[in-house]
Each structure stands twice: as structure tokens, then as C-alpha cells.
Amino acid sequence: MLEIQTPEAVMFWVLAPLSGIAALGMLLVKKAVHSALLLAWVMVTLAIFYIAQDALFLGIVQIVVYTGAVMMLFLFILMLVGVDASDSLTETIAGLRPIAITAAVGFGGLFVALISRAALGREAVGLQAANANGNVQGLAQKLFSTYVWPFEVVSALLITAALGAMVLAHHQRSVARPTQRQQSIARFRSGSLAGAAGLPSPGVFARHNAVDVPALLPDGSAAPTSISATLKARGDMLESRSFELGEVDNTVTEEK
Amino acid sequence: MTTSTSLGYLIALPLAGSIILLLAGRKADKWGHLLATALSASSFGLGLYQLSQMLALEPEERGFTQKLFSWISVGTFNVDAGLLLDQLSICFVLLITGVGTLIHIYSISYMSHDRDRRRFFAYLNLFIAAMLLLVLGDSYLNLYVGWEGVGLASYLLIGFWNQKPAYATASKKAFVMNRIGDMGLSFAIMIAFATLGTVTFAGVKEASESASTATLTGIGIMLLIAAAGKSAQFPLQAWLGDAMAGPTPVSALIHAATMVTAGVYLITRSNFIFDAAPTAQLLVVIVGAVTLIFGALIGTAKDDIKKALAASTMSQIGYMTLAAGLGPAGYAIAIMHLLTHGFFKAGMFLGAGSVMHGMKDQVNMRRYGALGKFMPITFVTFGLGYLAIIGVPPFAGFYSKDLIIETAFNAGGVKGILLGSMTLFGAILTAFYMTRVMVLTFTSPERWEEDQHPHESPILMWLPMVVLAIGSVTTGYLFTRGDALVHWLEPVFGEHGEHTELLPHKVVSALAITAVIIGASIALVKYQFTEVDAEAPTKVSILTRLARKDLLQDSFNESVFMRPGQVLTRWLVKGDDNVVDGTVRLVGRTALGAGAELRRTQTGFARSYSALILIGALVLIAGIWVITQ
Amino acid sequence: MNPYNYLYLAALLFTIGAVGVVVRRNAIVVFMCIELMLNAANLTLVTFSRINGTLDGQVVAFFTMVVAACEVVVGLAIIVTIYRSRRSASVDDASLLKR
């Protein structure tokens, strides 16, 4: 017979509403990055629930894999695709929002009704016995005996997924990569001879190694190509003048 | 009744000829007509042979039967394809094959310019075969097969020159009106089977002795309708005039001598039914009497020689029908008139064909005249037929028509006097219109159109006419000498029975001859001694106008049957278009409409699809909830 | 407290995820809502595992996690590819089948 102790109850009643609000927020916020962060919060909460329910291994895996790997992957993609891209929240397809909300509310209501009426015909047992040798050992026991076949299949799936991602990300060249000779010819044939000798390698004109401080050209102006276009577009480029040294004080002070 | 093995050949020979000629196609054009004529002649020879066999037997045993094969065997309904040749059938067999062969010979020459001559002979042979089957069948059902066959042959032959739409329509009209008669025969067979359980002549004869009068009256009336349709009797006579659209040999064979007599054959063959159903018999008499006057009246006003002869045929068959409705006393007399009529009417039709041949297919008698000088053989043969039909002794028609008039008077009472007077009046009219035809064509001054060069016909045409003329002259005497034909047919029809003689035989003859003289003189005065207009006069009496319009039968048929029928068909077509087709189109429209509506779910947006999936999942869960309640 | 409370929470999270899939237009946010739904399912599995006293629920939840990870990988690769060629990450713009 399972007796849920008060600490767990308290933890539940604090964290559950929070995770609900976080989920709702994920739905409603405009910027995608905010949605990602709220989702990460929900996942962490769930990890805490797993641990509270004696699913120790699973709770840690939730944090490591889900929150750690999957959400980071999401954030990376958001970065690639455009952190800026925020949707307007107005609906373009007529009538979709009311339908969706009604359906979902009905859906949820039905779920709740079904769960509350469910008579499982057995008492809640708790995992004391199953975790007798430890949660990891118990899981391993199950995994390598009863569930070995799904285990193998899922590992094959993982490999396939990795391969699939590589294939999708592969950029097939349609024209051959221009050789050094071709690039050189192109440089001389372009409008001006300014770039004839090629661009300076990174850091040639750098005064500072900060990402958002541009390098200075010989005439003192900022070199436009020394800073990421994204940063420039966002106006995060800083003036290098502010970092210039003043007069150098040549006096040597004694170390005391 | 002895079984014979050669009856089938009577039918098989011409039938084979027909099939060969139709299947061989143009290859048979050179010899097809000769083969057909030979086969028809061989059937005639076979018929003569059968007659000789019969003569060698006792009167009661003169009959041959042959079962060809077992045809229908369903439950209690068993009909064999069987043939019966008795004294009645042999008369018809010889008439059909004899006159048929003569007409085949005539057609070799008459149709020599037609490129479809082979097809014509194929149809002629088909007709012979079907008509033989009609008279040789041993049951009503076998007779019906032949009945339908002659109807088909008539349709094919009337519409032979179907390039002309009017001729094609005429053949259709004949076929449709015949169909009404055929329905009567079908019903008669159905009633016979339903009530009596059999359709063979012998079976029905036996069963009729114990059947109820109502049943027999019903069968009799249905048979009368059939006979009226096939023999062009009132009220189904309107097709005979239009049937003259066919080539003249066709008119001679089918619409004078043979097919139109099938009705009389049917009635006389069913004598046991009519003898037991007096009401039906009375109706037969009435139909015959009405038709004979009807046809005679129409014949007086027709200027087309073939239509005049057709009206005459209608009238003469009216005589036969009247005689057949007078009971045992009249059957043999009807058959006698039928046989003699076959000779002289066919002869006259062939003569008309000869005249048309010589006058470049002109049929308007008002454009004839003085042809006796230029076509002597035609004139003589036609004239002999004319004398026979009006009833001048000693030609054939005198004997047969005289006997009919006498039998009519002897029917007794008011009925007898009435019938006798009508037949006498018919005789006057017959004499009048036939004399009119003779005079207008042969003896009156010429009223030809431009460029006519009448000439005698070739030998193959006038030889059959001569043979038939000989028949017109001699057959009357031969049949009545010692009541030969009556005694010959006695085993079939039963005893004559005693009858009261209303008027002595000589008085009747005198009355008949007087009628002939009256009719002929009026016609002579009107047409021979007065000038005849080349165009038909328009200021004529009301009776003439009515007679020109076939006594309004066509108008009646059109207004009572045709126009309502057309309205009905139009309504049915509209109903079919709107209701039936409309329903089908509605199904299509519904499908399209439903498709158009359902297509609106295909928006192309992934989000609406996912919304649909959500709704679907909701429905599923709801379903589970409902089930687990 | 009733262990079934976790189930109610899972139902709630699942519903929110379902609405998000239908309503949001940014493909990556849609993806995140799908992840939310998967997590709700995982919570359900773990709760039942606890109620029944066996570890099967946890094993299945484990497998679900693995599969979700694979799915995220491939799905995001696809989104990136689409973004590269179409310059848009909106779900509504990928509607070439629209009539």
C-alpha cells in the first residue's frame, strides 16, 4: 500500500502549478527563445517529479538528455533560424483558434473524467520492492531480459537518426569549389584592385579580441568585415575608440 | 391418320431456298431466281403427290401427320412441332404452291430490271415456307409460328423498295396492324391452354365438347380478332390499301391469294369452336357482312388500279368470312370461294402488273384507256378474271358467290334476309366497280400521258396469267360438280345438316345475275359511254368523297389511337428525361456537391490538418468513454 | 495525496501541448509543444509504474525518451533545410498543396 508522505505532497502542490503556468507561458509568449526556456523549466520540474516517484535513473536522464541535449539543440536551431523571428499572435486561418481551444478543452476534460473514473482494480503499490536492488539494477534487469529486442531496435533507430541528420544537413555543391587559381583570377577581374591581394587574415587589424569591437583600417575607420553581420544588424557593434589607450605612462613604479 | 415422312419437305424446300439466296449474296444473282422457282415448283409437285396419296385412301382416313421434333415440354404444357395434312390443308397447300410458283415465274420477268431480284425471290420463298407452315401446323402454336412468318415476309416484301420512305411506312403500318391481330391469336392460345390444357387442333376439338360456352366464345372472339387483322377485315382493314406499295407480284401472291386468306383458314379450321359458340359466330358474320360492303364502297372511288383491286380483295374476303360464320353449311363454301378467288384475283393483279409494265409504272386508271388493242393477252386474261369475279356464269365466281348468297338467305329468319340482301347489294357494287376498272383500263378511249408506248408483256409474264385465267374459268364448275368440294371437305367440317331453303336455288341465281347486270350497266354508262376526266373530278358526292378517304378508317385510327399514343409517348419521354434521368443526374450532382464540400477540408495548411487530428482523437476518446459507461 | 494527481497534471500538460501544435505558426515552437506532449506521456508512464509496482513503465518511458531524441534530431534538421531553401520557418508557408 502506497503512502505518499507530506514532503512529497507539498513539493507536488508547489511545483505542479508552476509547471502548468510555464507550459501555458510557452504557448503564449511571442519570442521563440522564451518558449524554449519555459519548456526547459517544465522539463526540470518533471525530472524532480520522476525522482520523487522513485524513478531515479530516469530523472537524471531527463535532465541530461532532455534538458541538456534536446533543449540545447532547440536553442542552437533557434539561433540558426533566427532569434528575431517572432510570430505575430494573430490567427490567419479563420476559426482555427476557437476550434482548437474547444477541442483541446474537451479533450482534457474527457481525459480527466476518464482518469477519475478509472477503477484499476488494484491498490497503488509503490516501488519499494522493485527497487530493492537499486533502481538502476532493476531497470537493467528489465532492459536486458524482457525488453532486449526493443532496446536493440531503438539503438538502430538512434544511429539512423544521426545519419539522417547528417544527410539532411549536407550541402551538395552544384558547381565545383573554385580553386585558388580561379579565386585569384576573380579577384583581379573584379571592379577594383582593392581586394587583389586577398583579404587580411583574421586579427591582422584587430586591436581587441572582443567579438563586438571592430578592427580599424589604416585610415582609422572601422573595418566592416571584421565583425559579424548579425551583431552589426542588431546594433551591438561597439566603438573601438572607447578602448584606446590614453597616453602611455612610461614611469616605472617600484613594487613595494 | 397415317404418319408421313415427307410432309416436312414441303416447308423445308422453299425455306432452304430462302436461306441459300439470302446467305449467298450477290454471288447468287445469276441463278437465285431460278433456284427459288424450282424449289417452289418442287413443293407443288410434292403437294400433288400427297393429293394422289390421299385420293387413294378412304374419306375418313385421308390425313397425314408428321412429328418433326418435340418442341416445348414444360410441366403440363407439351407442344410438338408437328404437321397435319388433311383435306382442308391440301386445298391450301396446292393453292399456295401452285399460285406461288406461277408468281415466281412471273416475277422472273417482272423484276428482271431490279438489282435486288435475288433478295425478292428469297423473301418469296420465305413467304411460301411460312404460309405452308401456317396451313400444315397441327396446333394453334405451330400455326402461330407460320402466322408470324407470313407477317414478317409481308413486311419485308411490302417494304421491298424501302428507299422510298412512304413504302417503308406502309410496310410498318401493315406489320403493326397485323400485330393487333396477332395479339388476338396469342390470347386465344393462352385461353385454350389455361382452360382446356391443350393447343393442338385435335385436342381442342375434343376438349371443346365439354368446355363452357363462355370459354369457347372468348377463344372464338380472339380468333376473330386475329383473322380480322390478317385478312384485312373491319376494323383492322386500313393496312391493305397501303400494302399496294409493294411490287405487284407481292400484291398478287400475298394480298390476294394467300396471306389474306389465312384468317379464313383459321376460322374454318376452328369450326368446332365457332359451332359451339353462337355469339362468336354471329360476330364473324357481322364482321364479314360489314367488310364486304365497306370494301365494295371504297373500291368504287379508287383511281389507283392496285388500290381498287385491294378494296375488291377486302370485299371478297368479307364474303368468305360471312360464309364461314354461317356454320357447317358455309365452311366449305367459304373455302370454295377462297380457292376460286385465289385464281381470278391473282390473275387480275398479275394483269394489273402487266398493264403497269406496259405503261411505265403508271397506276392511275384515269390515265389508261384503250389498252385492249395494245395488250391483247392481258386484256383477255384480265377480262376472264373480271367475268369470274362479278359472277357471270359459267365462270368460277358465279358458282362460289352464288352459293354464298344462297347460304346467306338460307340462314333463316331476319338474319337470313338481311345477310342475303347485303350480299346481293355487294354483288351489285362488285359488278359496278370491277366494270369500272375494266372499262377505264381497256375499253374506254385513251387518256394517256405523254410518251406512253403500251406493249404486251413478255412470255414469262403472260404465261402465268393465262394459266390463272384458265383456272378462273374452270375451277368453279369443277368444284361444284356433284358437290365435289363440299364432300371432299366433309370429314373436316362435319355434315351439312338439314337447312330450310328460303328461296329456291334458281331464284337466287336469277337474283345474282340481275344484280350483276344492274351494276355492270351503270358502270358502262358512266365510264364507257360518257367521257372520262383525265384528272379526278373534285365536285363529287359526299359518298364518293368518303370512299376516296377509305371511309374515314385511317382518320379514325389516327385520332383515336395514334394521337393519344403520341401524346402518351411524349409524356413518357418527358417523364423519363426528368424523373429517371433526373434521378441519375441527381446522384451525380450529389456526389459532385459532396466532393466540393469535402474538398474544403483540404486547405493545404498543416495546422488545420493537425486541428482535425485533434478533433479525431477527441472523438475517439469520447467513443471509449461512451463504451465504458 | 493521491498518486493519481500526477496523472491529472500529465493530462493538463498534454492538452496544452496539443493546443500549441495547432495554434503556433513557428515550426520550432510547434516542435517544442510536441516535446511537451511526449513528456506528459512519460510522466504518465512513470506514475503508473509506481502505482503498479513494476519497472516496466520506466523502461517504456526510457524508450520514449530515446525516440523523442531521435525525432528531435531529424525534425530540426528538416526545419533547417526548409529554412535554408525557403527563408521562412513558418508552418503556414509550407503549403504547396493548397488548391
pLDDT tens digits in sequence order for chain C, 99 residues long: 788 899 999 999 999 999 999 988 888 999 999 999 999 999 999 999 998 889 999 999 999 999 999 999 999 999 888 888 877 778 877 777 665
Q: B618 to chain A: which residues are within 8 Å by CB?
A: 103, 106-107, 110
Which of C5, C13, C38, C79 is the best residue to mutate to test the A interface, defined by the most A CB atoms within 10 Å of its own CB?
A: C13
Q: A101 to chain B: which residues are within 8 Å by CB?
A: none
Q: Is the CB of A99 less than 8 angstroms away from the CB of B625? A: no
Q: Is the CB of C58 less than 8 angstroms away from the CB of A139? A: yes
Does residue B141 have a pLDDT over 70? yes
A57-71, B211-225, B358-372, range with the lowest pLDDT: B358-372
Q: Is the CB of A106 less than 8 angstroms away from the CB of B625? A: no
Q: How confident is the model at residue A168, as a pLDDT? A: 86
Q: Which of B614, B617, B624 sits opposite A100 (nearest CB)?
A: B614
Cα C35 to Cα A71: distance, rounded to the nearest angstrom: 10
Instruction: Report which of B523, B346, B342, B517 is spatially closest to residue B434, judged by C-alpha positions.
Output: B523
Q: A64 to chain C: which residues are within 8 Å by CB?
A: none
Q: How confident is the model at residue B483, as a pLDDT? A: 79
Mean pLDDT for chain B overall: 88
Q: What is the DSSP letter of A253?
A: P
Tell me: cis bond preceding B393? Omega within 30 of 0 counts: no
Cα B337 to Cα B534: distance, rounded to the nearest angstrom: 35
Q: Which of B599, B602, B610 sits opposite C21 (nearest CB)?
A: B610
Q: C87 to chain A: which residues are within 8 Å by CB?
A: none
Which of A63, A88, A154 is the best residue to mutate to test the C interface, defined by the most C CB atoms within 10 Å of its own CB?
A: A154
pLDDT (tens digit per residue) in B394-409: 788 888 888 888 888 8
Average pLDDT over residues B129-150: 93
Confidence tier at B125 by pLDDT (50, 70, 90): very high
* Residue, of B563 and A221, whose pLDDT is higher: B563
Q: Is the CB of A130 less than 8 angstroms away from the CB of C55? A: yes
Distance to chain C for B615, nearest Cα, Å = 11
Q: Which of B607, B618, B625 sits opposite A103 (nearest CB)?
A: B618
Q: Is the CB of A110 less than 8 angstroms away from the CB of B622? A: yes
Subunits in contact with chain A (3 or more CB pairs closer than 8 Å): B, C
pLDDT (tens digit per residue) in B536-551: 777 778 888 888 888 8
Distance to chain B for C95, nearest Cα, Å = 5
> CB of B604 within 8 A of CB of C97?
yes
* Sheet containing B63-74: order of strands: B2-3, B63-74, B77-86
Distance to chain C for B626, nearest Cα, Å = 19
pLDDT (tens digit per residue) in B222-256: 999 999 999 988 888 888 888 888 899 998 988 78
Q: Which of A103, A146, A161 sits opposite C74 (nearest CB)?
A: A161
A22-31, A236-245, B13-22, B57-66, range with the lowest pLDDT: A236-245
Q: B614 to chain C: which residues are within 8 Å by CB?
A: 18, 21-22
Expressed in angstroms, the distance from the first to the final Cα of chain A is: 74
pLDDT (tens digit per residue) in B10-68: 899 999 999 999 999 888 888 888 999 999 999 999 999 988 888 888 877 778 888 88
Q: A138 to chain C: which residues are within 8 Å by CB?
A: 55
Confidence tier at B498 by pLDDT (50, 70, 90): low
Nearest CA in chain B to C14: B614
Q: Which of B607, B618, B624 sits opposite A107 (nearest CB)?
A: B618
Q: Is the CB of A100 less than 8 angstroms away from the CB of C29? A: no
Is any Cβ of chain A less than 8 angstroms from the Cβ of B500? Answer: no
Average pLDDT over residues A72-87: 78
Per-residue cell: B343: 385464281
- Predicted ipTM of the assembly: 0.92
Does residue B304 have a pLDDT over 70? yes
Q: What is the DSSP letter of B540?
A: -
Distance to chain A for B620, nearest Cα, Å = 10
Q: List CB contacts of A19: < 8 A, sequence separation 6 or more.
A: A41, A42, A45, A46, C9, C13
Cα B288 to Cα B314: distance, rounded to the nearest angstrom: 10
pLDDT (tens digit per residue) in B307-317: 999 999 999 99
Nearest CA in chain B to A119: B628
Is any Cβ of chain C less than 8 angstroms from the Cβ of B607? Answer: yes
Confidence tier at A209 by pLDDT (50, 70, 90): confident
Average pLDDT over residues B589-617: 88
B121-125, B505-509, B610-614, C33-37, range with the lowest pLDDT: B505-509
Q: Is the CB of A4 less than 8 angstroms away from the CB of C42? A: no
- What percent of chain A stands above pLDDT 90? 37
Q: How confident is the model at residue B26, as a pLDDT? A: 87
Q: C22 to chain B: which residues are within 8 Å by CB?
A: 607, 610-611, 614
Distance to chain C for B611, nearest Cα, Å = 6
Q: Residue A200 phi/psi, 5° resolution?
A: -65, 145
Q: What is the pTM of this model?
A: 0.66
pLDDT (tens digit per residue) in C11-32: 999 999 999 999 888 889 999 9
Q: Is the CB of B604 less than 8 angstroms away from the CB of C21? A: no
Residue B576's CB: how many other CB atoms inside 10 A?
A: 11
Confidence tier at B476 by pLDDT (50, 70, 90): confident
Nearest CA in chain B to C22: B607
Distance to chain A for C93, nearest Cα, Å = 11
Average pLDDT over residues B414-439: 90
> CB of A58 within 8 A of CB of C62?
yes
Q: How confident is the model at residue C84, as a pLDDT? A: 82
Is any Cβ of chain A less than 8 angstroms from the Cβ of B69? Answer: no
A240-244, B460-464, B508-512, range with the lowest pLDDT: A240-244
3-state secondary structure chain C: CCCHHHHHHHHHHHHHHHHHHHHCCEHHHHHHHHHHHHHHHHHHHHHHHHHHCCCHHHHHHHHHHHHHHHHHHHHHHHHHHHHHHHCCCEHHHCCCCCC
Is any Cβ of chain C less than 8 angstroms from the Cβ of B595? Answer: no
Q: How confident is the model at residue B615, as a pLDDT? A: 92
Q: B602 to chain C: which residues are within 8 Å by CB?
A: 97, 99
Q: Is the CB of B607 less than 8 angstroms away from the CB of C91? A: yes
Is any Cβ of chain C less than 8 angstroms from the Cβ of A165? Answer: yes
* Residue, of B259 and B49, whose pLDDT is higher: B49
Does residue A24 have a pLDDT over 90? yes
Q: Is the CB of C25 less than 8 angstroms away from the CB of B603? A: no
Distance to chain A for C86, nearest Cα, Å = 11
Does residue A219 have a pLDDT over 80? no
pLDDT (tens digit per residue) in A152-182: 999 999 999 999 999 888 877 788 888 989 8
Q: Which of C25, C91, C98 sits opposite B603 (nearest CB)?
A: C98
Does residue A53 have a pLDDT over 60? yes
Cα B88 to Cα B332: distance, rounded to the nearest angstrom: 9
Average pLDDT over residues A218-234: 77
Q: How confident is the model at residue A84, as a pLDDT? A: 56
Distance to chain B for C3, nearest Cα, Å = 22
Instruction: Report which of B299, B537, B314, B320 is spatially closest to residue B434, judged by C-alpha positions.
Output: B299
Distance to chain C for B607, nearest Cα, Å = 5
pLDDT (tens digit per residue) in A104-145: 899 999 888 888 887 677 777 887 777 788 889 999 999 999
Subunits in contact with chain C (3 or more CB pairs closer than 8 Å): A, B
Average pLDDT over residues A74-100: 77
Is any Cβ of chain B less than 8 angstroms from the Cβ of A104? Answer: yes
Distance to chain A for B586, nearest Cα, Å = 32
Cα B520 to Cα B128: distance, rounded to the nearest angstrom: 36
* Residue, of A74 and A91, whose pLDDT is higher: A74
Give SS3 for B235: coil
Q: What is the DSSP letter of B82?
A: E
Q: How confident is the model at residue A42, as a pLDDT? A: 96
Give SS3 for B74: strand
Is any Cβ of chain A less than 8 angstroms from the Cβ of B612? Answer: no
Q: Residue C90 phi/psi, 5° resolution?
A: -90, 135
Cα B345 to Cα A241: distance, rounded to the nearest angstrom: 140
Q: Is the CB of B608 less than 8 angstroms away from the CB of A93? A: yes
Q: List the beta bridge partners of residue B82.
A: B67
Distance to chain C for B620, nearest Cα, Å = 15
Per-residue cell: B258: 394467300
Alpha carbon separation from A177 to A182, A212, B202 (Å, rounded)? 9, 31, 111
Q: What is the DSSP letter of A254?
A: P
